[in-house]
Amino acid sequence: MLLDPFKGEGFTLNSLTAAINNILYTPTVIAESGLFQSAGISTLDVSIESDGKTVGLVAVQPRNAPPQVVLGDKRNIRTLKVPHLPERATIMADEVQGVRAFGSESQAMAINTVRDERLAKMKRQIEYTIESHRLAAIMGSYYDAAGNVSSLFTEFGVAQTTVNMGLTTASTKVRIKVQEVIDAVELALDGLAFSGIKVYCGATFWKNLIEHDALKQTVLNWNAAADLRNDPRNPISFGGLSFERYRGTSVVKIPDNEAYAVPMGVTDLFITRFAPANYWETVNTIGVPYYAKVEPMEMNKGVNIEAQSNPLNLCTRPAAIIKLTEA
């Protein structure tokens, strides 16, 4: 009897999900930064509460357990649906034609290799999408379940502070502008400790920053100035801020003339919550970052593989994210 590799252990929900979660992720700026604290949830939506400054999660409680106490009359709670990111791929039988020797099971190994290649590509595309969602969160927005971008500031009546850096004016005292940014972050955090401030810059903002006379006079005397002169893409520190050019794409990017200052070391400032997949086997389970599942094609000519992720990415203190403009 010939081996049917599509029914082997490598094509169960558990094995496919384990395989896609074990694939090394494609490096991205936000993913590498460690800004977002990730966790799984067992529901398809997340309740968040706002008091005018902070947007926080509402704890999920067992039925009949004491509910979370909501203090004051200025808070409001809203429920956000978790976005669903599914992808499909196919592996046709002809793709491994001629691999298996008669009486051997090497065809299974060949199919698993093709399977892992498909899963890796699907995962890279999902990660690219999650990166775009996280970048939106850094700029004060979130993706809803319909794929629309909505403003957290509008949703919860939180105001964003904007600092005009004056980088297009040679006489601008950039250090004073930097201090304005630091003051704005401290005010928004209301005494909450932070370890530093990272500024993600758009392309034009970055160019005007590194070419401004005020910055050159300071940075060129810095030990790492040689690196900056050789490669203008390297991050730089100035006045207590760490500036970094966000290398995006034509779709996923920070607007050219803008930058966003993010306080570092603040617990759960940025969060990612993964909901479970829409399969029978995953109902009421804690979500994981990626899922994959397979089903046979008609006449067993191949298989369809589905990969998905269900992430909601949020900033819990959007007022602490300061928008910088170059003018």
pLDDT digits (tens, 9 = 90+) for 141-158: 999 888 889 998 888 788
Q: Are 278 and 49 in contact (CB under 8 A)?
A: no
Residue 108 pLDDT exceeds 80: no
Determine, yes or no, domain membership for 93: yes
Residue 1 pLDDT exceeds 80: no
My answer on whether 16 and 108 are in the same domain is: yes
As a whole number of angstroms, the distance between CA 140 and CA 94 comes to 48
Burial class (CB in 10 A: 0-12, 13-18, 19+), 250: exposed
My answer on whether 253 and 274 are in the same domain is: no
Determine, yes or no, domain membership for 10: yes
My answer on whether 145 and 88 are in the same domain is: yes
My answer on whether 144 and 34 are in the same domain is: yes
Query: What CATH number should be reported for the domain holding residue 229?
Result: 3.30.1930.10
Determine, yes or no, domain membership for 142: yes
Q: What band does 101 get if pLDDT is binned at 50, 70 and 90?
A: very low
Per-residue pLDDT reduced to its tens digit, 120-132: 888 888 998 999 9
My answer on whether 281 and 136 are in the same domain is: yes
Q: Are 293 and 304 in contact (CB under 8 A)?
A: no
pLDDT of residue 151: 92
Q: Are 319 and 161 in contact (CB under 8 A)?
A: yes
pLDDT of residue 102: 44
Section 78-83 average pLDDT = 86
Determine, yes or no, domain membership for 254: yes
Q: What band does 34 get if pLDDT is binned at 50, 70 and 90?
A: confident
Determine, yes or no, domain membership for 294: yes
Q: What band does 59 get if pLDDT is binned at 50, 70 and 90?
A: low
Q: What band does 220 get if pLDDT is binned at 50, 70 and 90?
A: low
Determine, yes or no, domain membership for 197: yes
Determine, yes or no, domain membership for 91: yes
My answer on whether 258 and 296 are in the same domain is: no
Indicate the angle between helix axes 13-22 and 106-138, nearest 10 degrees. 60
Per-residue pLDDT reduced to its tens digit, 268-322: 899 999 999 999 999 999 999 999 988 888 888 888 999 999 999 999 899 999 9
Report which of residues 25 and 235 the model is more confident about.
Answer: 235
The count of domains in the chain is 2
- Tell me the pTM: 0.82
My answer on whether 83 and 224 are in the same domain is: no
Instruction: Name the least confident of 33-37, 96-100, 171-175.
Output: 96-100
pLDDT of residue 250: 83
Pairing of strands 85-92, 76-81: unpaired
156: helix, coil or strand? helix
Query: What CATH number should be reported for the domain holding residue 298?
Result: 3.15.30
My answer on whether 30 and 131 are in the same domain is: yes
My answer on whether 145 and 252 are in the same domain is: no
Report which of residues 67 and 242 the model is more confident about.
Answer: 242
My answer on whether 254 and 296 are in the same domain is: no
Report which of residues 48 and 202 the model is more confident about.
Answer: 202
What residue numbers bound the domain in which 126 lies? 5-61+71-150+269-317
My answer on whether 98 and 221 are in the same domain is: no
Report which of residues 219 and 283 the model is more confident about.
Answer: 283
- What are 32's two structure tokens? 């590498």
My answer on whether 177 and 248 are in the same domain is: yes
Percent of all residues in the chain with a pLDDT value above 90, rounded to a whole number? 43
As a whole number of angstroms, the distance between CA 166 and CA 208 comes to 10
The residues that bridge with 196 in the sheet, in sequence order, are: 264
For residue 96, which amino acid is it?
Answer: V
Q: What band does 78 get if pLDDT is binned at 50, 70 and 90?
A: confident
Determine, yes or no, domain membership for 66: no
150: helix, coil or strand? strand
pLDDT of residue 26: 55
- What are 85's two structure tokens? 């990111």
Instruction: Name the least confident of 66-75, 89-98, 188-197.
Output: 66-75
